[in-house]
Amino acid sequence: MKPAPFRYVPAASLEEALALKAEHGDEAKFLAGGQSLIPAMNFRMAQPAILIDINPLTALSYVRQDGNAIRVGALTRYRTLQRDAAIAGKLPLMAEALPEVAHPAIRNRGTLGGNLSHADPASELPAVVSALGGTLHTRSKKGTRRIAAQDFFTAALTTALTADELLTEIELPVLPPRSGTSFLEVARRRGDYAMMGVACAVTLNASGACAEARLAYCNAGETAMLAPKAAAALKGQRIDDKTARAAAERAKAEINPFGNVHASADYQRHLAGVLTRRALLVAAERAGA
Amino acid sequence: MSIRSFGQPIKRNEDGRLLQGKALFVDDVELPRMLHAAFVRSPYAHARIRGIDTQAAKKRPGVVAIYTATDLGAYWRPGFLLVPPPPIAGITFNERTQVPLVKDKVRHAGEPVAVVIAEDRYIAEDAVAEVVVDYEELPAVVDLEQARDARSGFVHDDLKTNVAAHVRQIKGDYAKAVAGAACVIKRRFLYDRGSSLPIETRGVVAHWDAKADRMTIWDTTQAPVFLRNGLAAMLGLSERQVRVIAPFIGGGFGPKIMMFYPEEVILPWAARKLARPIKWIEDRFEHFFATTHERGQLHDAEIALTTDGRILGVKDVFLHDTGAYDPYGLTVPINSQCTLLGPYHIPNYDSTFTALFTNKPIVTPYRGAGRQHGVFVIERLLDIAARELKLDRAEIRRRNFIPPDDFPYNNQIIYQDFTALTYDSGNYGPILDKALKAIGYAGFRDEQARQRAKGKHLGLGIVAYVEGTGIGPYEGAKVQVQASGKVSVATGIGTQGQGHYTSFAQIVADQVGAKVTDIEVVTGDTDQFYWGAGTFASRGAVVAGNAVNEAAKVVRQKILRTAAEHFECAEADLVIEDGKVTVNGVPGKSVALGVLANVANPMRGAVKPGTEPGLEATSYFGPEMGATAAGVHAMIVEVDPETLMVEIKDYVVVHDCGTVINPLILAGQIHGGVAQGIGNAFYEQLVFDGQGQLRNASLADYLIPTALDVPRMTLDHTVTPSPLNPLGIKGAGEAGAIPVGPLFAQAVEDALGLPDKGIELNEIPLSPSRLWELAGSADNITASQQARVR
Amino acid sequence: MSHKVSVTVNGTTHERQVEARLLLSDFLRHDLGLTGTHVGCEHGVCGACTILLDGLPVRSCLMLAAQTNGRAVTTIEGLSTDGKLSPLQEAFRDTHALQCGYCTPGMLTTMTAFLAETPNPSEDEIREALSGNLCRCTGYQNIVDAVKLASQRMAR
């Protein structure tokens, strides 16, 4: 299990990295944390001709509050995110999901940008970023783009990134007051990809009814699946066991899990229902319902 | 004698090296000019090879050679049959053993087709990708029941059947038992495939030294002596010309006893041909195909009982998946057949199995070696019987235990060691009593109800088992006092973490009066000890341990004789302790063992006729039959009735393996066995598709339990020494793993109240997803539980 | 194309030319001869090859040797000094926390870093921190006990 030959270029600057990517397109891969890419290369499932190592570009590692948003540099490692006060305070949904991502040794290397660019639908963070309605900032030699999370993930392991583009920043809105979130997953073992997971965000109105809800799922289809109908139907309703159950039933119909060696598609769908109900109740409680 | 070290929880001699990264494992061997091998493996489970083109791959810089079956010439031959079928009347056995490289037809995915030898492993893998093999894919024989159908095709065409073996063993008259029974229960049980998955994969380094005319092979084998003998024969060398070293081995668990793996056959041959050392280290992906698997049986079993739950008889008809070849004979299904009888008095038994070839990797023993299948069947049958007869599940077991005064107890059928299945000694009631007490059996129903009122679903499981351990043929050991005062012990078995460096030292320490840390044990080097069989069937401590003891006893006599001559006193006046011999009651009259070793090996003068130089002895031990260990496991689980996730809340093991050498090491063996049992019961499954492709060949998808999945265990012991060996030892290596399947099934059933809904868990492994399918729908479970609480 | 790296391993700086694709695990084991780091899966799951990179545990099978230029690596060989075991290594021996010893290097590096950050861990925290390192021999119980014992001894 040794990688096929490739050319390795540690990026001296962002401009150099982008120029190389523009030159080589799909033949080249950016190397961030490498915790998904290098295993794929060791299995020879990925055989890039050129590996552009962006780890030297430390300016891409940051967490900044900017008005009503948290901006995260694409090269920020999970470990850093887990220990960041702004993430813990302003993005509790992400803080709750991070410990579910693999194990400490992996989180010491893996990066948010690398994770999202890899776009594994079973991963936790695409669901979190989708549930939060994040915006992904990209750069290429030609310029910059802003892509909404729900447009970024186009299929399993496929994103809207063009062959010359690098994801540079993830912008995540801070939820308004009277909001609550919950991340729940069921995995065979701690640190495994979830058989099913849900990222849930709820905002209540003054009377305690649901003003806005968002539900996003891991391992529920080609991408981080959203359940917009289930979420919309909650608007104006008090979130309780009955409405949460109804939302769960709606969400089950909106997702499209494939099934795998660990979980049948039916079981995954069933789990989505259980987790949706539980997550909505927790999120509503946290919102102050 | 000073304080005995035998029986003490002594820290291990080998740990210092292992903890500092100083222990030699096979992949640590570095030799000048060493080459590296990688194998071209079939992507298909069943395919005819129409041609192999190695031209492009051979041109790659750094590639030294590429060999296919044709290149092996007369060296190509199917492997030896390691274990011939036992002498059972009417047996059918079709021997088909693995080949070094596929010549005509691939019989399982991952079977090696060609080998690339290159300057490094990276280049070797590059070349592997460039070897072009023209395959004609054939329909694969995957499913056990389909394998019996001729329309599915044949794994071995010349046989015109997929039957590898057919065996029937009978005790008493089952038909008579049924005629007199109040209750007959019949069920189907499935036990699916898993992998032993040691953290160290297999590996071989072969080094031909042309000037010394010797071949040295480092191999991750559990049986270096057999490997040497076989390779010498294959290579046309004398056994003295071949040295096999099994250094530190990163876990074995059975599949590392299998031989001769294709890689073991090819590397020495190629190293000699190329006159350069060659290393092959199995990578993790290869491991899923190239190392043998276990399990995979389908049982149709029935039990006949009286109204008070006494077993009158058991009938079992089962299919055993042997994979593409059957080099290990019938050890696994025979173990299943025999171990089903458990600790119970079963007067009538009729068991038939059919072993079938399939297009899947080979099945050979893995920790438990078929025993867990038998235990699963009898324990599940007893659970069902207890419900039918409205008996307590612990009580039905107790009623059927073989009484303590019925030993030795002859079960009248043939065991894997070819002797009648006879239990040497046992006393099962106290084991059950201790386990029931430790798990809180008496108060559990109340606790279960209290927790259920709070919405928690607890369940308890309790199962019993026996394990035939410590079988022959024999092991040997050489014990030698050195001039330094240290004592060297050499034995032919390999060691894979069982602590032999320490437990054997403890045995010797008590005999020769040296400190355990001054006793240096060498295992697994055929130049250090010539004879032996290997580490398998929980036999290392029993068979090699007793050989070590016998040799140490002789050395003790030599020490006493030499010291008596030295002091001109009677042997009876001597005391051996703390590395010296002293004359009792005479202060100052003392001689160190090292000095005596020199006295016994003089530079001048003659060794007297009839004596030997040195304080050294070699002894052998071969038990007439296996020693039977026994135990009871109990556990409490909590199941989330919606997600069907299972958490183990409490786990108890009470075990009887006779006399204990080192309780620390024994506890470790039990812990590790239970962890593998838990993996087997709930996490690990090799999932094949209809074309024999393994769908989860990675550690991300083949799920080994982690520190969060294996609970803290409470261990207790009873001691019924074995009369079959002087130390009274029974084996303990496999016991932890054997009964976990039925335990898990029983506890989960109990937690979810499944029997009340007519649902039984009669297959292993389980998983949350499978539980959900079997239980129909989790909502139903929840509803039924709520109804019960109300 | 090869790359020049200058990497400090267990306090000694090594300058080497490495091929782009050479994994850090292979570099440590076969170029530097530090065979105490074990390789169990080469896809980042088993944890046997875990080393400390600038003090933090990482999988050496998921990094390229070329990426370590200017970095400091600690392997199992660097945990003891002059043959004297660290408190964690000592505790592993005392509680029989290893059998075959193959996963042990990764356990020790991972837990060394864990204890530095979590000096007084609970059993749950220890198990969580261990969950990325697979052991097939011990059932983990004695490893958990070793980590606890080491933390108690280090607190004294």
* Chain C contact for B713 (CB, 8 A cutoff): yes
Interface of B with C in 629-668 (CB under 8 A): 664-665, 667-668
Burial profile C73-101: b = 16 or more Cβ within 10 angstroms, e = fewer: bbbbbbbbeeeebbbbbbbbbbbbbbbbb
pLDDT band for position B790 (50/70/90)?
very low
Interface of C with A in 31-70 (CB under 8 A): 42-44, 47, 50, 53, 56-59, 61-64, 66-67, 69
Q: Between chains, do A104 and C57 touch, taking CB under 8 Å as contact?
A: yes
- If asked whether residues B237 and B386 sit together in one domain, one would say no
Residue C154 has pLDDT above 90, yes or no: yes
Instruction: Give me A63's structure tokens.
Output: 């967490």
Min distance A194 CA to chain B CA atoms (Å): 12
φ, ψ dihedrals at B384, nearest 5°: -70, -40
Taking contacts as CB-CB distances below 8 angstroms, the residues of chain A near B706 are 189-191
Please tell me whether residues B241 and B376 are part of one structural domain.
no
- B19 contacts C85? CB cut-off 8 A: yes
Size of interface B-C (CB pairs under 8 A): 177
Number of domains observed in the structure of chain B:
3
CA distance B717 to B714: 10
Same domain assignment for residues B449 and B501: no
For B188, how many CA atoms within 13 A lie in the half-sphere containing its CB? 4
Task: Reply yes or no on whether the pLDDT at B765 is more than 60.
Answer: yes
State pLDDT tens for residues C23-34: 999 999 999 999
User: Residues of A with CB below 8 A from B777's CB?
Assistant: 270
Distance from CA of A151 to the nearest CA of C (A): 30
Q: B428-439 and B393-400 helices cross at what angle (nearest 10)? A: 170
The yes-or-no verdict on residue B786 having pLDDT over 50 is no
Task: Tell me the sheet residues that pair with B463.
Answer: B633
**What does the alpha-carbon distance between residue B545 and residue B493 come to, in Å, rounded to a whole number?**
11
Pair of tokens at residue B785: 């539980």
Chain A: residue whose CA lies nearest to B127: A4
Please indicate whether, in this complex, the C-beta atoms of A189 and B772 are within 8 angstroms of each other. no
Domain with CATH 1.10.150.120 in chain C: 87-155
Distance separating alpha carbons of residues B527 and B505, to the nearest angstrom: 20
DSSP code string of A59-92: GG--EEEETTEEEEETT-BHHHHHT-HHHHHH-H
Q: Quick one: pLDDT band at residue B534, thresholds 50, 70, 90?
A: confident
What is the rounded distance in angstroms from the CA atom of residue C46 to the CA atom of residue C142?
18
B5 found inside a domain? no
Chain C touched by B32 (CB under 8 Å): no
pLDDT at B1: 42
Q: Give CA A26 to chain center in angstroms.
A: 23
Question: Can you tell me the distance from the alpha carbon of B139 to that of B48, in angstroms, rounded to the nearest whole number?
Answer: 11
> Domain C2-78 carries which CATH code?
3.10.20.30
Q: B603 CB contacts (<8 Å, ≥6 apart)?
A: none
More confident residue, B789 or B538: B538
pLDDT digits (tens, 9 = 90+) for B467-524: 999 888 999 999 999 999 999 999 998 889 999 999 999 999 999 999 999 999 999 9
Give residue-wise pLDDT tens across range C78-91: 999 888 999 999 99
Q: Is the peptide bond between B430 and the residue preceding it cis, with omega within 30 degrees of 0? A: no
CA distance B248 to B503: 16
Question: Please, which pLDDT band fits residue B541 given cuts at 50, 70 and 90?
Answer: confident
For B769, which of A1, A267, A274 is closest by C-beta distance? A267
Touching B (3+ Cβ pairs <8 A), the chains are A, C
Are B203 and B255 in contact by the 8 Å Cβ rule? The answer is: no
What's chain A's average pLDDT? 97
In a domain? residue B665: yes
Domain assignment present for B377: yes
Domain final position from B621, B643, B677:
B621
Cβ contact (<8 Å) for B767 and A271?
Answer: no
Question: In terms of domains, do B121 and B63 share one?
Answer: yes
B283 CA: distance to closest CA in chain A (Å) = 6
The reply to whether B60 and B124 lie within a common domain is yes
**In the CATH hierarchy, which fold is given to the domain comprising C87-155?**
DNA polymerase; domain 1 (1.10.150)
CB contact under 8 A, A188 and B683: yes
Does the pLDDT of residue B53 top 70, yes or no? yes
More confident residue, A204 or C81: A204
Which pLDDT belongs to residue B607?
67
Q: Say whether B244 sits in a helix, a strand or coil.
A: strand
pLDDT in tens, C119-136: 999 999 999 999 999 999
Q: What is the pLDDT of residue B494?
A: 83
Q: For chain B, what percent of residues have pLDDT higher than 70?
A: 97
Structure confidence at residue A20 (pLDDT): 98
Task: Compute the distance between CA of residue B737 and CA of residue B467 in angstroms, rounded to an integer.
Answer: 11
Q: How far apart are CA B131 and CA A38, in angstroms?
A: 24
A51, A78, A109, A189, best to mutate vs chain C, most C CBs in 10 Å: A109
Interface of B with C in 282-341 (CB under 8 A): 283-284
Domain membership of residue B255 (yes or no) is yes
Beta strands in C46-151 (DSSP E): 50-53, 56-59, 72-74
Name the residue range of residue B235's domain. 33-138+205-279
Q: Which residues of A fall within a CB distance of 8 Å from B703?
A: 188-189, 192, 262
Q: What is the pLDDT of residues B627-667, one digit of tens each?
A: 999 999 999 999 999 999 999 999 999 999 999 999 999 99
Strands (E), B138-293: 163-171, 183-191, 203-209, 214-219, 242-245, 278-281
Domain C-terminal end among B606, B621, B636: B621
For residues B499 and B596, membership in a common domain is answered with yes
pLDDT at position B780, please? 52
Closest Cα in chain B, distance from residue A253 (Å): 17
B528: closest CA of chain C, how far (Å):
21
Q: Which pLDDT does position B635 carry in this prediction?
A: 98
CB atoms within 10 A of CB B690: 11
Average pLDDT, chain B: 94
For the residues C62-66, what does the mean pLDDT come to? 98
**CATH assignment at residue B559:** 3.30.365.10
Q: Which residues partner with B647 through β-bridges?
A: B638
Residues of chain B positioned with their CB less than 8 A from the CB of A271? 643
User: Residue B265 is encoded by which pair of tokens?
Assistant: 């056959």
Say yes or no for a CB contact (<8 Å) between C44 and A106.
Answer: yes
DSSP letter (8 states) at residue B20: T
Grade residue B777 by pLDDT with cuts at 50, 70 and 90. low
Q: B713–C141: do the CB atoms touch at under 8 Å?
A: yes
Q: Which of B216, B248, B279 is the last residue of a domain?
A: B279
Residues of A in contact with B643 (CB under 8 A): 186, 271, 274
Query: Is the pLDDT reported for residue B784 higher than 60?
Result: no
Same domain, B441 and B504: no
Range with the poorest average pLDDT among A206-210, B1-5, B526-530, B546-550:
B1-5
- In the numeric block, the tokens 């029931």 are attached to B436
Q: Residues spanned by CATH 3.10.20.30 within chain C? A: 2-78
How large is the C-alpha radius of gyration of chain A?
Answer: 19
Q: Tens digits of per-residue pLDDT, B71-92? A: 999 999 999 999 999 999 999 9
Q: Which residues of A touch C56 (CB under 8 A)?
A: 79, 108
DSSP string, B391-429: --HHHHHHHHBPPGGG-SEEEEEE-TTSSEEEE----HH
Asked if the structure places residue B17 within a domain, the reply is: no
Least confident window among B35-49, B242-256, B576-590:
B576-590
Angle value at C-alpha A69, between A67 and A73, nearest 5 degrees: 120
Whether B675 and B599 map to the same domain: the answer is: no
Contact indicator for B131, B114 with CB cutoff of 8 Å: yes
What integer pLDDT is reported at residue B779 of this predicted model?
Answer: 52
Residues of C in contact with B698 (CB under 8 A): 41, 43, 45
In a domain, B7, yes or no: no
Nearest to C99 among B22, B23, B668 (CB): B668
Rounded-to-integer distance, Cα A39 and Cα C43, Å: 5
- Residue A139's pLDDT band (boundaries 50, 70, 90)? very high
Residue B527 lies in a domain: yes
Partner residue opposite A106 with nearest CB, options C66, C129, C132: C132
Inter-residue contact A97 to A132 (CB < 8 Å): no
Quick check: is B181 in a domain? no
User: Residues B270, B313: one domain?
Assistant: no
pLDDT digits (tens, 9 = 90+) for B711-755: 999 999 999 999 999 999 999 989 999 999 999 999 999 999 999
User: Which amino acid would we find at residue A220?
Assistant: A
Residues of C in contact with A1 (CB under 8 A): 42-43
CATH code for position B132: 3.90.1170.50
User: Based on the domain organization, do B130 and B243 belong to the same domain?
Assistant: yes
Which pLDDT score, from 0 to 100, does residue A287 have?
97
Tell me: do B704 and B764 sit in the same domain. Answer: yes
* Longest CA–CA separation in chain C, Å: 52
Give the C-alpha separation, B655 to B663, whole Å: 12
Q: What is the mean pLDDT of chain C?
A: 97
Q: How many helices (H) and strands (E) does chain A have?
A: 12, 14
Chains that touch A (3 or more CB pairs under 8 A): B, C
Q: Is A2 on the interface with B (CB under 8 A)?
A: yes
User: Which of C86, C95, C96 should we substitute to test contact with B (largest number of B Cβ atoms within 10 Å)?
Assistant: C96
Query: Is residue B13 scored above 80 in pLDDT?
Result: yes
Contact yes or no for C63 and A34 at CB 8 A: yes
